[in-house]
Chain A
Amino acid sequence: KAGVTQTPRYLIKTRGQQVTLSCSPISGHRSVSWYQQTPGQGLQFLFEYFSETQRNKGNFPGRFSGRQFSNSRSEMNVSTLELGDSALYLCASSVSGGAGYADTQYFGPGTRLTVL
């Protein structure tokens, strides 16, 4: 079974631009979560989607948004990029994510975003 894939792997943008990152979950997984990883703040939860609905949201500004499609693929968008948005963005998928607290989240390789 193929793992979680994320595209692109690397991205360079300038301040003020917007960016869209894509995540394809493992086949059969319906929950997709997004995390931001930075040296200073560590791994922080952005949001989670399940059946095309945002089910959980972390403490990030409204510039960070996402969506999920009927095939469970997910995208996250960051508008009006700031220097501090430079980070590794990780996507994780699990079977259900909600009722199954013990569901394992499987992570993709991440997208490395650099904002200049």
Chain B
Amino acid sequence: AQSVTQLGSHVSVSEGALVLLRCNYSSSVPPYLFWYVQYPNQGLQLLLKYTSAATLVKGINGFEAEFKKSETSFHLTKPSAHMSDAAEYFCAVRLGGGKLIFGQGTELSVKP
């Protein structure tokens, strides 16, 4: 069965520091992977997605993620955190028929 594990339910960084949010997937077939962000009292917004075209995927707001098949990972990074990045981040794997399986989420805090 396909699944997603996000390591660390809470991550805290200082403004300007590197952001690294970890995601590992379990899939028997080449996966389609997504990162979404959720701000308080809002829905989910797509940050980026991996569809096998390139292993390094660039998204919105300066985020990027690298697909590593050997490590079954799809970690999200941003070189320099901004206060506005504080939110909850979800990694997800796409199954057929419009079904996304989400990780438990990582809440990112950014300290001034």
A56-B99 in contact (CB<8A): yes
Q: A42-B104, A42-B105, A43-B90 are in contact. Are A105 and B43 (CB under 8 A)?
A: no
Q: Pick the contact of A97: B34, B49, B92, B97 (CB < 8 A).
A: B97
The 0/1 profile, CB within 8 Å of B marked 1, for residues 28-69 of chain A is: 000101010000001111001010000110100000000000
The 0/1 profile, CB within 8 Å of A marked 1, for residues 96-107 of chain B is: 111111111100
The minimal Cβ–Cβ distance linking B24 to chain A, given in whole angstroms, is 16
Contact size range, B: 20 to 34
Residue in chain B with minimal CB distance to A9: B41
Residue in chain B with minimal CB distance to A3: B43
A98-B97 in contact (CB<8A): yes
Residue in chain A with minimal CB distance to B36: A107
- Chain A CB count within 10 A is highest, among B32, B98, B104, for B98
Complex Cα gap A50–B90 (Å): 25
Q: Which residues of A contact B36 (CB under 8 A)?
A: 107
A4-B102 in contact (CB<8A): no
Complex Cα gap A48–B95 (Å): 12
Q: Which of A76-116 contact B (CB under 8 A)?
A: 90, 92, 94, 97-98, 101-110, 112
User: Which residues of A approach B to under 8 Å, CB–CB?
Assistant: 4, 31, 33, 35, 42-45, 48, 50, 55-56, 58, 90, 92, 94, 97-98, 101-110, 112
User: Which residues of B approach A to under 8 Å, CB–CB?
Assistant: 32, 34, 36, 41-46, 49, 51, 90, 92, 94, 96-105
Could you pull out 18 A-B pairs where Cβ atoms are within 8 angstroms? A31-B98, A33-B100, A42-B103, A42-B104, A43-B92, A43-B100, A43-B102, A45-B101, A48-B99, A55-B98, A58-B99, A92-B44, A92-B100, A101-B96, A102-B94, A105-B34, A105-B100, A106-B46
